[in-house]
Chains A and B, each alone.
Chain A
Amino acid sequence: MAEVSVEVSATDCTDLAKVLVRADPGGALAAALDVPFGRAVRDGNDALVVRTAPDAWLLLAAADLATPLVRRVEALGAGEFASVVDVTHGHALARLTGTTAAVVLAKLCAIDLADPATPDGNTFRSLVAGVAVTVVRDDARPGRLTAGSAGATPAGGRDARPGRLTVSPTASLASLDRSDALGSAGATPAGGRDAERERSYLLLCDRSYRQYLRDVLTDAGEEFGLAWT
């Protein structure tokens, strides 16, 4: 029998730091975070800022950056009613990457994942296999957040295999400016040839569903030889 080629892989990124922010959408903290509802943007400080609700943000960063991140945001929110809570342990996180990542996710999730509807940098919360999951389309490379700490040495630089990149202190996140992160909306080739590009999605759920999410991704990805790295 022919070898099954791996068109999709998954990585558990549960150790990444996660900070929940609640604040008035019209306040200074909201302005400083500067991400519209439904988008996720890299800030200049190694964090992926995901706007999950009109008055809520989730910041993702390398595992050992939780406390400095909380401090930094608290400072931004001083002077208004804002809550900054370390929820690192409250959620499981998986990254799904590959040319068929969207096809796998489309077995579990009713949201339109094609480029016009969910371009790179978009986020939504919906049901994935019956569980509420926050999904972030995060193709951006290099500097793609996976597991590991900010202090770790990079795993060989710009590795072509998905799931192997870690955030390194020297990674040029600054070079990944805002307009890049806003994605290629409008640049879709007509008729949907976007299936051949590699895509990457972060999937965030309540921690207790961690094993269940892993099981359903494995099951849905079986057709494409999904491997966990």
Chain B
Amino acid sequence: MRLDGQPGEVIHRGTPLTFTWNGRPYPAFAGDTIGSALAAAGERVFSRSLKYHRPRGLLTADGNDPGCLVQVDGEPNVRGAHRRVSAGMAVTAQGVWPSLRFDLKALNRLAGPALSTGFYYKTFIRPRRLWPYYERVLRRFSPGGRVPSPSSPAGRYEHRYAHPDVLVAGGGPAGMAAALAAAEAGARVMLVDDQPALGGHLRWGGPDGLAALAQLRAAVAAAGGIEVLTDSVVTGQYEGGLVAVVQHGLPGLTERLVKARPRQLVAAAGLIERPYVIAGNDLPGVMLSTAVRRLINLYAVRPGARAVVFTANDDGTAAAADLARAGVDVRRVVDARDGGDIVRVRGRGGVRAVECGDGSVVRCDLLVTAVGWTAPTGLLTMTGGRAAYRAGAARFVPTELPDGVLATGGLVGDGTLAELIGHGRAVGQAAARRAGRTAPASPVPDLVPAPHPELFAGRTNGFVDFTEDVSTKDLAAAVAEGYDSIELVKRYTTATMGPTQGKLEAVNTIAVVAAATGRGIPETGTTTARPPYAPVSLGALAGRNYQPVRRSPMHDWHVAHGATPLVAGAWIRPDHYGDPAGEVRAVRQGVGIIDVTPLGKFELRGPHIPDLLELLYVNRWRKLAVGAVRYGVMCTEDGVVFDDGVTGRLGEHRYLLTATSSGAEAVGEWLERWLQTERAHWRVHVVPMTDAYASINVAGPRSRELVRRLTTGIDLSPEAFPYMRVRLGEVAGVPDCVVWRIGFTGELSYELHVPAGNGLRVWEALLATGVDLGVRPFGVEAQRILRLEKGHLVVGQDTDGLTQAYSAGLDWAIKMDKDDFVGKPELAWQRVRDGQVVLVGLQPADPELVPPESSQLVEGDRRIVGRITSSRFSPTLDRSIALGFVAPDLAEPGTVVTMLLPDGRRLPARVMPQLAHVDPEGKRLHG
């Protein structure tokens, strides 16, 4: 029921809203949470529990409430007592069938013994063949909401980095005081609180607190250096001091993850109230004192009609006063400090009566408990701090904190408002000093937890973990079965493993286990706290999911001309333009151009270049003349082929080194590694130029004519410009181009390296000028076919992580008479070893059959003798062709080997006399 205006209420009566709950419309005010609006309307049951499907209502009326997890529109597992209502919101209960009120899954309670703790280790296991059926049934009964369908609109999640001097986790009075003091000293402060507004318990603690609250809020707003993040939670501190904060409630954003590196972290997380463990303690109508004070003071909701209050501290007494003020009939106040106790709560579907320790039974619809406080030390222990149990205060408190972490407020101890603020100020000053600012060095006063009786579980068995439906009986059973350490009990019973992650139930669990094992609470200890402290959505962790993409200067042209994209690492390349076979024919018969910009390119400068090349390549380089180009093979120290490419000498101390596109980054790092770590005295500079040149390969019998038409300053006649030479000149009016004659495709071809800003111009000029020559663009697929027809290996395709150079048929390149080159020792040993596989050309007997790459080559039933590394249909030969590895005894040309296809067929293929299938003498290349 809604009360009249309360001094600290956060609802805006001038802004009424409507939302639906299980399909029916309900009224609310702006500022209401789902839980408070429904409570105002008299609703008491919001969910059904995990295992037994018991009806549950509000217990804490805040973000930790275990009874109020609901589905909101498409979003599952929303904390209904924390999420504010918005107009038109559709809220439904989770995990119930057919409805919240008549949940047939509650029949689970009849299966009680079969669902006792650890049941999934004991039941529904045999017979094994029935498990798929068990699984289907059990899935129906699993809790949680429904995941949104893939077609529902995605949220927007962002990341942000922040570097405050001081990050204060918690915006209650101590936290605000700490932030203010730090900001006064000139520190950059970030103040985080999970509520929509700062204030902590001052917000609902009564009119005295409200006046102080207004002052503190005004001071924070006026202070220059405090960034306030409300509706936000510090979810953990990670290695290196990284603190994660998840921000909600931002316009246009679903959530934002702030990755902060504060110099100092101040934990001011306050206190969390504990429930009392007795029979019936999960009935709708059982609430904590803080719950009723929030409902009354923040949301103007009367939580019940007739109440019993069980208290062990002054906060419970204050709650009783608030209840009376709100018109609740407080029928009995049982005070534990006077020896009072309550035994059980009676009712079905809701509280009907409370049985007290003296035997009396009081009829009521609301039981309010105030039996103690838990300091949320999880964040502190995540940072490496420690906490210890103080029996006199019935609470764990922080004891040691690492450098960079401080604590203040209720988390540390109790005091008057002035004492809390004084402590916060002193801690804030200390934080500012440690962060390098100048602040008064006032000593931090003591803040000691107040004495409090130890009240965890009463005389009857009750629920310890509400979200996981774990009771004292379950804990006792676990201990009896031998799971008597707290870490084992947690995992076996799942206590503290639910959405509240121990905030409400850890201490009660420890106390019950301690009693069951006969050890004390300190000896029982706590489980390890790990991030995240509060639930985090996967979206928040993912952020905008930026994926780097690399594009050549001709990218848009390829897209506009119908290229099918090929993702190669971060690059997008044109795979083909609709007809790869036609592209192959164009190159063999006329001329084609391909964008090979991703090719690795490195400008080398310096007198020691030949030394570097001789060291890292297997070939010789000292006699390479200016204007000459050589193909090189690079191995790693184990003799395995690492990369290949051509290098040309452009000037006395200037070379252009190329590497494969996929190996470009690795080769760049390899070059630098040797120069920096092993040969720092060599005078060589390596300048990456992969992106600086747009690279175009012009290939085909008419390529010379086409290139001649566009170049200036280069004599293209075969005598002046033979195969494997490089020239500098102007192409299509673009100066500083590198042109060399190489031959990956096996045809007469020229590779143009054009300053990238002019790449498109040259590309389009080639196409425009070569129309009469039949010029066509060709893509990566056609290039693959062309090079395969010529038997040119691709490192990483026709070689693998074990292929040493002699296996790849690269004997001719390896110059063993060099003093030292990377891979030499292993290659020397490989050369004299037997049994090396050999790379050969293969042609399947059936010319129409294109064997899938990686098909094995076999002999009989037991021996794998090789595999197909590259395989395509050749438009030039009109039949299938391949490259592959075979055992040396089968490598003789003419040998028939058996291919084992993935579909199980065994089909023959013939070993060819050379790797090249087309023009084996290479006549076309040298034309």
Residues of A within 8 A of B (CB): 14-15, 20, 22, 81, 83, 85-91, 106-112, 114, 117, 129-131, 189-193, 206-212, 216, 219-220, 223
Contacts and interface: CB of A to CB of B under 8 A. Distances in A.
Contacts of A189: 224
A193 B756 contact: no
A130 B597 CA distance: 22
A107 B550 contact: no
Interface in B525-551: 544, 546-551
A191 to B, nearest CB: 2
Given A109-B161, A207-B756, A209-B550, A191 B687 contact: no
B2 interface: no
Nearest to B547: A130
Given A85-B603, A106-B162, A190-B224, 11 more contacts: A22-B605, A22-B687, A90-B688, A108-B546, A110-B161, A193-B224, A212-B548, A212-B549, A216-B544, A216-B546, A219-B544
Contacts of B552: 208
A15 B756 CA distance: 11
A67 B289 CA distance: 78
Given A88-B755, A192-B188, A208-B691, A110 B259 contact: yes
A144 B192 CA distance: 38
B757 interface: yes
Contacts of A83: 605-606, 685, 687
Interface residues of B, number: 49
Interface in B597-634: 597-598, 603, 605-607
A91 to B, nearest CB: 7
Nearest to A22: B685
Contact of A15 (B183, B223, B544, B757): B757
A87 B683 CA distance: 20
Nearest to B692: A90
Contacts of B160: 106-107
Contacts of B161: 106-107, 109-111
B252 interface: yes
B571 interface: yes
A190 to B, nearest CB: 4
A110 B693 CA distance: 31
B285 interface: no
Contact of B159 (A20, A107, A209, A223): A107
A81 B158 contact: no
A97 B152 CA distance: 36
B187 interface: yes
Interface in B746-760: 755-758
A191 B187 contact: yes
B926 interface: no
B163 interface: yes
Contacts of B691: 89-91, 206-208
B679 to A, nearest CB: 14
A3 to B, nearest CB: 15
Interface in B576-616: 597-598, 603, 605-607
B41 interface: no
A219 B555 CA distance: 21
B224 A88 contact: no
B284 interface: no
B357 interface: no
Interface in B676-735: 683, 685, 687-693
A23 to B, nearest CB: 9
Main secondary structure of the interface of A (DSSP, over half): mixed
B902 to A, nearest CB: 36
Contacts of A129: 546, 548
B186 interface: yes
A167 B224 CA distance: 37
A1 to B, nearest CB: 12
Nearest to A127: B548
B225 interface: yes
Contacts of A210: 551
15 contacts: A22-B605, A83-B685, A87-B689, A88-B757, A89-B692, A107-B160, A110-B161, A117-B163, A130-B547, A191-B224, A206-B688, A207-B553, A208-B690, A219-B544, A219-B546
B252 A20 contact: no
Contacts of B546: 108, 129-130, 216, 219
B671 to A, nearest CB: 13
A112 B163 contact: yes
Nearest to A63: B757
A85 B224 CA distance: 47
A86 B548 CA distance: 26
Contacts of A22: 605, 685, 687
Contact of A191 (B225, B607, B758): B225
B239 to A, nearest CB: 15
Q: Top 10 nearest A-B pairs by Cβ distance?
A: A191-B225, A90-B692, A191-B224, A208-B550, A190-B186, A112-B163, A207-B691, A83-B605, A83-B685, A89-B756
B548 A211 contact: no
A223 B550 contact: no
A81 B188 contact: no
A97 to B, nearest CB: 20
Contacts of B224: 189-193
Most buried by B among A110, A207, A208: A208
A214 to B, nearest CB: 11
Contact of B183 (A14, A108, A191, A209): A191
A191 B223 contact: yes
A131 B692 contact: no
Contacts of A219: 544, 546
B821 to A, nearest CB: 24
A206 B189 CA distance: 36
A85 B550 contact: no
B186 A191 contact: yes
Interface string B564-575: 000000010000
Contacts of A108: 546
Contacts of B549: 209, 211-212
Most buried by A among B551, B603, B692: B692
Contacts of A91: 691-692
A58 to B, nearest CB: 11
Nearest to A14: B757
Contacts of B159: 107
Contacts of B163: 112, 114, 117
B188 A90 contact: no
A83 B226 CA distance: 49
Nearest to B691: A207
Contacts of A106: 160-162
Nearest to B605: A83
A87 to B, nearest CB: 6
Nearest to B259: A110
Given A206-B691, A212-B549, A81 B571 contact: no
Given A83-B687, A110-B161, A90 B756 contact: yes
Nearest to B185: A190
A216 B605 CA distance: 35
Interface string B46-67: 0000000000000000000000
A112 to B, nearest CB: 4
A145 B236 CA distance: 42
B693 A89 contact: yes
Contacts of A216: 544, 546
Contacts of B689: 87, 90
Nearest to B162: A106
Interface string B202-231: 000000000000000000000111100000
Interface string B114-155: 000000000000000000000000000000000000000000
A83 B605 CA distance: 7
Contacts of A220: 158, 544
A83 B552 CA distance: 26
Contacts of B544: 216, 219-220
Contacts of A191: 183, 186-189, 223-226
Contact of B571 (A15, A114, A208): A208
